[in-house]
Amino acid sequence: MAMVDCFQNMSEQLRMVTCGWCETKVFVSAELAPLATVPCNKCGHSIMMPMQLRQFELRSIIGSGGMGNVYRGWDTMLERLVAVKLMKKELSKDLKALENFYREARACGRLNHTNIIHIYTFDEWEGQQYLVMELADRGSLDARIEKLRMLPELDVLDIGIKIASALDLALKYDLLHRDIKPGNILFNADHEPKLVDFGLALATTARQEAGDVTWGTPYYVAPEKIKREPETFLSDMYSLGATLYHAMTGHTPFEAPTIEELIVAQVQTPLTPPNLVVPSITQATSDALVQALAKSPADRFLSYDEFIMALTAARSQLLIQQSQSQTPQPKSKSLTSWWKRQ
C-alpha cells in the first residue's frame, strides 16, 4: 500500500511532456508554471510546460515577435494541431497594438486562400487576447535564406507565383499587406508557403499617415513609401519582388552600412539585375524581377495577373532548359565507324 501511495505522490508531483525537438517523453515537475521551460535531458532543447487556453493546449513555442509569442497547440475539441498567437499582456492597454492585433484577425479572417494563413478564432482569456490559426511550423523563407543563402530559382518562382496570387486576393478585398518580407512567408508540413502577419494591413481606400513610412522592413520597402507618397498594391508588389530577389541571389536588392544610406539607395541607386549577381539566373526571371522592382510604380506590372504571367512564363522556360540539359544527347558516329560500314 505504501508503494502505491509513493507512486501516486510521484504522479502528482511530475507531469510527462514531449520534447518538440527530439520527441522524447520527459517527466517535469508539476509545479512548473505554464509556459515555463526546462532543458530536455536528451537533446537539450527547451521543453515547455503545457498551458490550457479554453479548448486549446499550448505545447511548445514556435516563435516570438514584438506583439507576442506563437505556440504550437492542440485543439482538444476538433483534435487537430493549431498555432496560437498570444498577445503580450503588457500590450493589452496599448490601443495601437490592440488595433494591429484586431486588424490581423479581421484581415486574415476575411481571406480564404491556400497561401494565406487561415484564422480559426480570435478571443480573450483572463484579459489576454489570442489568435488561433492554421499551423505553419516548417520555418520561414527568411530562415531558409539564412541556412541556404540562395534558394533554387524554380523554388523561388513557385513561391513568388503563390504569394502574388495571395496578394491579388487580398487586393480584391481592398487590402494592402504593407509588410511583405521573407520572415512573413512561412511553410506548413506540405512545404506550402503561407503569407502571415496582416498586423499592418490597410484598406486601399484608407487615409494613410505620413508616419507610416517607418512601418515595414527597410530592405524591402518601396521607394514611394520612403518618399511619403501614397501606397498602392504596387508597393506590395515591389516588396515581394525584393523578397524574391533576396531568396534567389542571397543579397537584398540594395545593401548599405547604415539605414540612412540604405534608404537613399532604395530611391536613387539603379538596381543590379539578379542575373548579374548570379549568372545562372535565367534572363526571363531576371527581367520579371527587374520590372517588379522598378523605382516608379508606373513602370511595374499593371496587375498581379501580369506579374504572375511573367513569373509563370519564366518558370516554363526554366523547366524546358532543365529538361534539355538532362536529356542524353545522341553520340556522334566516328569516322572509324563510318569506314567500317563501307
What are the sequence ranges of the domains in the chain? 14-133, 141-326
Fold of 14-133: Phosphorylase Kinase; domain 1 (3.30.200)
What per-residue confidence (pLDDT) applies to 205?
67
- Nearest-angstrom CA–CA distance, 252 and 248: 10
| Residues annotated as part of the active site | 179
Nearest Cα residue to 83 out of 103, 64, 111: 64
Does 14-133 match 141-326 in CATH topology? no
pLDDT at 342: 40
Model confidence at 3: pLDDT above 70: no
| pLDDT band for position 339 (cuts 50, 70, 90) | very low
Gyration radius from the chain CA atoms: 25
Architecture of domain 141-326: Orthogonal Bundle (1.10)
**Selected residue with higher pLDDT from 19 and 120:** 120
Which span out of 65-69, 128-132, 184-188 was modeled with the highest average pLDDT?
Answer: 184-188
Q: 46 or 121: whose pLDDT is higher?
A: 121
Residue 248 contacts residue 282 (beta carbons within 8 Å) = no
Question: Residue 202 is inside which H or E element, if any?
Answer: strand 202-203
* CB 62, CB 72: distance < 8 Å: yes
Percent of the chain with pLDDT over 90: 60
Q: Which amino acid is at 85?
A: K
Which residues are within 8 A (CB) of 54 and not within 5 positions of it... i.e. 6 or more apart? 123, 125
Of the ranges 18-27, 90-99, 264-273, the best mean pLDDT one: 264-273
Mean pLDDT of the chain: 86
Give 226's contacts (C-beta < 8 A, 6+ positions apart).
213, 263, 266, 267
Residue 207 clears pLDDT 70, i.e. is over it: no
Name the 3-class secondary structure at 284.
helix
Summarised one tens digit per residue, pLDDT across range 273-327 is 999 999 999 999 999 999 999 999 999 999 999 999 999 999 999 999 998 887 6
- Maximum C-alpha span of the chain: 101
The whole-angstrom separation of Cα 67 and Cα 54 is 21
Cell of 56: 486549446
